Structure 1
């Protein structure tokens, strides 16, 4: 596989994870009391995943925006 293929995969993965994280936040805000704990747990999981992906991007010197991770702040946007 080429480096371009890996780059496209990582960009797509970042975009998908962020999109699903934002959807989890919206679902949490709209959840009824029965589903509240599930929705909150799901949102916390996405918070952890996005945070970890951003930390790893930083550790490897990768541009967060190039990975689809630059427009979200987990502490601001996912709590």
Structure 2
């Protein structure tokens, strides 16, 4: 469900109305423009983080399929949440999933 609310950023000196994940997008754009991290460093970090999260997620799926304990199922579902959050944020920032290492992540593997 989308929501509408007012946010005030005193350092920007403005108020704006936003809906849903537009807040994340605007704050991210603002912080990125103020951030002195180079684009190469940022892209490398994002790609490495995505690759590591994917590896851990696939490992958690394998463990959950081997041992269906509550712990392994919960661990796998936590990675599912992280992966979907990263996918949603990539969409908001118009980042191709391949750029963060998720291009070949099989979504349906979480639900076998």
Q: TM-score, normalised by structure 2?
A: 0.63
- 1:37 shift after superposition: 0.2
Runs of 4+ in 1 over 6 A off after TM superposition: none
Q: Which has the bigger relative contact order, CA under 8 A and spacing at least 6?
A: 1
Which residue number corresponds to residue 27 of structure 2?
Answer: none
Q: Structure 2 CA distance, aligned partners of 1:49 and 1:77?
A: 15
What do the CA deviations read for 1:34-79 (whole angstroms, capped 9, x no partner)? xx000000000000100010010001101110110121143x0212
Higher share of residues assigned helix? 1
**CA shift in 2, pair 1:73/1:51, >3 Å:** farther
Q: TM-score, normalised by structure 1?
A: 0.88
Whose radius of gyration is greater, 1 or 2?
Answer: 2
Note the 1:1-79 alignment, pairs <5 A: 1-31=37-67, 36-74=69-107, 76-79=108-111
Structure 1, unmatched stretches of 5+, are: none
CA RMSD of aligned residues (A): 1.1
Structure 2, unmatched stretches of 5+, are: 1-36
Give the paired residue count.
75
